[in-house]
Amino acid sequence: MSAPAEIAQGIESQLTAPLYGLDPKERHGSLVALLKKELAYACARNMKFRNYVQHWPVDFHAADTLADLPYVPVGAFKANPPLALVDASEFKRTLTSSATTGQVPSRVVLDAETAKRMTKGVTTIIKDFIGPARRPYLVIDTPENVRSQGELGARGAAIQGLGSFATETVCCLRSGPDGNTSLDLTKLLEFAAKWREAEVLTYGFTYVVWTQLVEPLERQGITLDISNVRVLHSGGWKRLEREAVTKKVFTEGVASVFGCSADRVIDFYGMVENVGVVYPDCEHGNKHVPAFAEVVVRNPLTLEPVAPGQRGLVQVCSVLPTSFPGFLVLTDDMAEIIDYDECPCGRRGTSFRFAGRVPKVEVRGCGNLDTTRYQQAQGNGSHE
């Protein structure tokens, strides 16, 4: 079942609005109005979701601000069957989050309309950062992760999301018989030689770019010499931080092996639960929110939005999904609000900086039972 025309028109209107040019107050008003309609629609489509919303301390119909609307913690998308607002027969694709061994991934279901909007949302945002031209696309991943599947992981979704900018796509990693991946140096060098003078787009998961491309090339003293490249990367920093690879070290390392300037290396933040929205760094190192989305950073003590300069839990908001209730999602990430307008880059609205995952605190005390008893993964007891 399609979303009502009124909602579809509202989404389209936000999708076609100036991406980062709206007055924040004006944008907030139109987002709140549309999100209220979407919440009402979701309540009508899913009784359990309605139950959740009805128990929210603020009646969403009466809410004045986006921060008062009921949000769903990201862990709720690990439910099986997945939270959905459309019948299973309408699922076009299921996106899964990246999850480490033993963790349950999130699963979000997309119908045709939501999938279309997702592509449009991502494309519009990326276009603002790299321009509209189609160009050769170097994927720092294996071909298996590019192919379309019924269930698509976060890596695959990001790779495919950028596919609309590609004239041709080359994957420079290969899977060995043991399941490990390695750099296909011949293919990479051929690509580099062929497109040395051209505008090129490259994408990979942050730690994959570092461990599978930058480190091997640095070891061999190879520079690709593609100065017109745009290197986009996303994904967690946890593994790299453990190896003392800071963002600065990473960016300089990538720029060095590609032979480009550091400002051509762009980190973006995104998650499958926040379909159609990605948050690339601007030239001032800040992340921005497009016209069809919002970010609220909440004080963990009060869950109230924080002031500029303060850190808290990130809540992402998007008007794009209508196949699952992913309008307002409280993530397990931390961020700092830089400002609510006026980034020097010229993009208007909320600007923020990602500050890592919520630290998993070792749960202390005599009330902390063996975690396996409740099959939870919230940490272990400790004397500290």
Partner 1 sequence: MVRMNDLMPSPVVQSPEEIACAGKRLREIARQDEISPQTILDVFELWAAALGGHELREIPGLAFLRLWLRRGTLEPLLLRELGPDFLNGGWREDGHARLRAFPLGVIGHWPAGNIDLQPVLSLTCALLGGNCCLVRIPSDLLEITQQIMEKLKEVDRHGLLVERTLMVTFDHSRTDMHEAMARAVDGAMIWGGAEAVSQVRKLPFPNWAHIAVFGPRLSVAAMDAETWSDRSDRLSWCRRIARDVWQFEQRACSSPQALFLEQRAGCDPNEFVKDLGQALQEENRAHPRRQIEPSLTSGICLARASWLLESAANRAVFPASPDWTILLGRGTEIPKPTQGRTLSVLLVDDLSEVISKFDGTVQTLGLAMRSAEREETLAQAAGRHGVDRVVKLGRMHLFNSPWDGVDLIRPMVRLVRHVPSQE
Residue 49 within binding range of partner 1, rule CB under 8 A: yes
Q: How far from chain centre, in Å, is Cα 363?
A: 29
Residue 58 within binding range of partner 1, rule CB under 8 A: yes
Residue 344 within binding range of partner 1, rule CB under 8 A: no
CB of 53 vs partner 1, minimal distance in Å: 9
Please select the residue that binds partner 1; options are 87, 346, 360, 377, rule is CB under 8 A.
360
Residue 117 burial (CB count, 10 A): 24
Residue 75 within binding range of partner 1, rule CB under 8 A: yes
CB of 67 vs partner 1, minimal distance in Å: 9
CB of 83 vs partner 1, minimal distance in Å: 7
Residue 47 within binding range of partner 1, rule CB under 8 A: yes
Residue 52 within binding range of partner 1, rule CB under 8 A: yes
Residue 377 within binding range of partner 1, rule CB under 8 A: no
CB of 299 vs partner 1, minimal distance in Å: 9
Residue 83 within binding range of partner 1, rule CB under 8 A: yes
CA distances to 82, 91, 320 from 324, rounded to whole Å, are 9, 10, 10
Residues 209-238 within binding reach of partner 1 (CB under 8 A) = none
Residue 383 within binding range of partner 1, rule CB under 8 A: yes
Residues 305, 67: Cα–Cα separation, whole Å:
7
Residues 59, 53: Cα–Cα separation, whole Å:
8
Residue 32's contacts (CB-CB under 8 Å, 6 or more residues apart) are 63, 64, 65, 66, 69
Residue 161's contacts (CB-CB under 8 Å, 6 or more residues apart) are 118, 119, 122, 123, 126, 278
Residues 278-337 within binding reach of partner 1 (CB under 8 A) = 300-304, 312-313, 330, 332, 334
Residue 65 within binding range of partner 1, rule CB under 8 A: no
CB of 46 vs partner 1, minimal distance in Å: 9
Q: How far from chain centre, in Å, is Cα 158?
A: 8
Dihedral pair phi/psi, residue 299, rounded to 5°: -65, 120
**Contact stretch for partner 1 (CB under 8 A) within 13-21, 45-53, 112-120, 152-160:** 45-53
Residues 211, 217: Cα–Cα separation, whole Å:
10
CA distances to 11, 138, 160, 373 from 230, rounded to whole Å, are 30, 10, 16, 48
Q: Give yes or no for a contact between 290 and 281, defined as CB atoms under 8 angstroms apart.
A: no
**Contact stretch for partner 1 (CB under 8 A) within 125-133, 137-145, 157-165, 357-365:** 357-365
SS3 28: helix
Task: Give the position of tokens 């996106």.
Answer: 95
Residue 43 within binding range of partner 1, rule CB under 8 A: no
Residue 358 within binding range of partner 1, rule CB under 8 A: yes
Residue 81 within binding range of partner 1, rule CB under 8 A: no
Q: Is the dihedral of CA 151, 157, 162, 168 positive or negative?
A: negative
Residue 126: which of 98, 151, 100, 163 has the closest Cα? Answer: 163
For residue 123, give the H/E element and its range: helix 112-130
**Contact stretch for partner 1 (CB under 8 A) within 112-120, 203-211, 267-275, 371-379:** 371-379
Please identify, using beta-carbon distances, which residue of 150 and 367 lies nearer to partner 1: 367
Please select the residue that binds partner 1; options are 25, 55, 61, 248, rule is CB under 8 A.
55
**Contact stretch for partner 1 (CB under 8 A) within 47-55, 120-128, 161-169, 246-254:** 47-55
Please select the residue that binds partner 1; options are 4, 24, 308, 381, rule is CB under 8 A.
381
Tokens of 102: 């033993």
SS3 208: helix
CB of 356 vs partner 1, minimal distance in Å: 10
Per CB under 8 A, residues contacting partner 1 are 47-52, 55, 57-58, 68, 72-73, 75-76, 79, 83, 300-304, 312-313, 330, 332, 334, 358-371, 373-376, 378-384
